[in-house]
Structure 1
Amino acid sequence: MKNIIQLIVLIVCLPVFVQAQYAYFPQEGVVTFDKTIHIKNLLRRHVNSLKEGDFQRRYIEELIPKVNETVVLKKKLSFSGSEANWEPIKETLDPIVTNLLNMGILDYQNVGYQNLKTKESQSYFDMAGSSILLKDSLLNVKWKITDEYREIAGYSCRRANGVVLDSVYVVAFYTDQIPLPTGPSAVHSLPGMILGLVVPEQHYNIYATKVDFSSPVIKANVGPKRATAMTRREMEAKLRETLGDWLGEKQINLILAAIQI
């Protein structure tokens, strides 16, 4: 009789034991991020890249005492299978911050698309009143995974140090509990979802605040049909041609990195 009772208990509890051993690896969902930009430091970086007496330099110098140390922008990453969309979340911001966003100094508020299977990347944004659609392959990022860990949005994340665009240093924290190797902005190719990203050169960091396992609709074309697509190389050539007469090389490089990362 005792053996029969033990057998019944084992049969009843077995599904619970099996379920406890099963790890859930989501294939789709939405991650919400906070992007914290250190405005004063970024503005000083732009000032140092501009020539003495430049109108934009004087304008930015006058803004520095008026802005807060930081501003937080809301972002959203939707993923499904091997595809992902990246976009800003609309919100009401301080007028000075809004003006800096319109100038492209803080953030380009780009809408992005990545296909990890086909290695395709898209980014659509506005720059000085002109709509720009980039279509190219995924950025090449060289990673070195470390033994440092941090908890972000309830997930244990491992640190990786990376270099993108040949010289821009980035720090990422990824979790292998979400298997899609993408993350905020254009970074990717770690063994899991990037939930934290720091870009010292651009004076910002992005950390996930919430992970929701819903079923988002992924847009494979982020720009309007009338937009003319260009590669990164074509965009860089156009930018240098358009802005080269009144912006220095340092600021152009700063802008190019801000657009792509």
Structure 2
Amino acid sequence: MKKLVLITFGMLFVSAMALAQHAYFPEGGVIHFEKRVHLKNFMKTKMALSKSDNFDRSYIEQLLSKAPDSYVYKSTLSFNGAESRYDAVKQEQTGIMRNLDWYGFDYSGSYYQHIEKGVFKSRLDYEGGNILLEDSLLNIKWKITNEYRDIAGYTCRRANGVLLDSIFVVAFYTDVIPLSSGPIGTHGLPGMILGLAVPDQHYNIYATKVEIGQPQIVSELAKKKDKPMTRTAFQSFMRDRLRIGDWYTEAEFNMMMVNMLL
């Protein structure tokens, strides 16, 4: 009997080791995300930073009184090998949101990252036209913590980050999906980012579902004739166009740039 118990224990141990050695780490799939923007907090911050004559404040306050406290934008992130692409999902909006969306809660963008090559691309919808960016991956300084959270069925570990010199972000990543990528332009952790919060911009992005597969990742976001800009060139272009100091304050401009460059 004792010999039988030892044999059984040995078989269970070998089976457990085999499972550990052959754990499944998906290299491709599609992740569904929801981006929740806290509208009223966003607008309060934006109006506090703006020039006093930049808004019809009574009109904005009337809109906000009828608007929800928060609004959810949906998106997907397709990944395969070293590439990922994050795309907004088209959705119908209420009349209130169509009026408020002009203030830049979300730019209905597409974002491409090639982690091994260090390439970042984005296409943003701005005033009915496309803004195209192409640059290196964002420089993000991460500090991994011992806090964990379950997101879309995956155990994720928290990391605090700083990007664009001073913007604080909170991310939750899983090392079960080994690609060091994430929503929008985030990357740089030991696995896929399934949760992201940007307090200064009053939004968070969390995965709701992960589908494993081998999607084709399209790196081109626009026609070949279209000329993309670097982040630095884009900021100079927008600074000239928006006439900082006349139409926009420096603080309001910086808030807008973070939302467009992240």
Alpha-carbon distance in structure 2 between the residues aligned to 1:58 and 1:122: 39
1:57–1:105 Cα change, 3 Å: farther
Give, in angstroms, the shift of residue 129 of structure 1.
Answer: 2.9
Residues 49-83 of structure 1 show CA distances to partners (whole Å, capped at 9, x for unaligned) of 11123235554333221210011111100000000
Give, in angstroms, the shift of residue 226 of structure 1.
Answer: 3.3
Alignment correspondent of 1:25: 25
Residues 109-135 of structure 1 show CA distances to partners (whole Å, capped at 9, x for unaligned) of 111100001100000012123321000
Alignment correspondent of 1:238: 237
Alignment correspondent of 1:251: 252
Alpha-carbon distance in structure 1 between the residues aligned to 2:47 and 2:125: 22
Please list, as runs of the form range in 1=range in 2, the aligned pairs for 1:73-92 lying within 5 A after superposition: 73-92=73-92
Instruction: Judge conservation of contact 1:170–1:199 (CA < 8 Å) in 2.
Output: yes
The number of equivalent residue pairs is 257
Alpha-carbon distance in structure 2 between the residues aligned to 1:204 and 1:14: 46
Alignment correspondent of 1:110: 109
Alignment correspondent of 1:120: 119
Please list, as runs of the form range in 1=range in 2, the aligned pairs for 1:1-261 lying within 5 A after superposition: 20-21=19-20, 22-55=22-55, 57-101=57-101, 103-244=102-243, 245-261=246-262
Aligned residue type for 2:259: A
Give, in angstroms, the shift of residue 99 of structure 1.
Answer: 3.4
Other structure's SS at 2:195 match: strand
Aligned residue type for 2:81: G
Q: In percent, how many aligned pairs have the same letter?
A: 44
Other structure's SS at 2:156 match: strand
Structure 1 unpaired stretches of 5+: none
Give, in angstroms, the shift of residue 91 of structure 1.
Answer: 1.7
Backbone CA RMSD of aligned residues = 2.3
Instruction: Judge conservation of contact 1:198–1:204 (CA < 8 Å) in 2.
Output: yes
| Stretch of structure 1 that moved more, 14-23 or 142-151 | 14-23
1:57–1:225 Cα change, 3 Å: farther
**TM-score by structure 2 length?**
0.90
Alpha-carbon distance in structure 1 between the residues aligned to 2:103 and 2:188: 27
Instruction: Judge conservation of contact 1:132–1:228 (CA < 8 Å) in 2.
Output: no
Alpha-carbon distance in structure 1 between the residues aligned to 2:169 and 2:229: 25
Other structure's SS at 2:258 match: helix
| Stretch of structure 1 that moved more, 103-112 or 147-156 | 103-112
Aligned residue type for 1:158: R
Give, in angstroms, the shift of residue 14 of structure 1.
Answer: 10
Alpha-carbon distance in structure 2 between the residues aligned to 1:124 and 1:223: 8
Alpha-carbon distance in structure 2 between the residues aligned to 1:104 and 1:42: 9
Alpha-carbon distance in structure 2 between the residues aligned to 1:160 and 1:214: 27
1:104–1:76 Cα change, 3 Å: farther
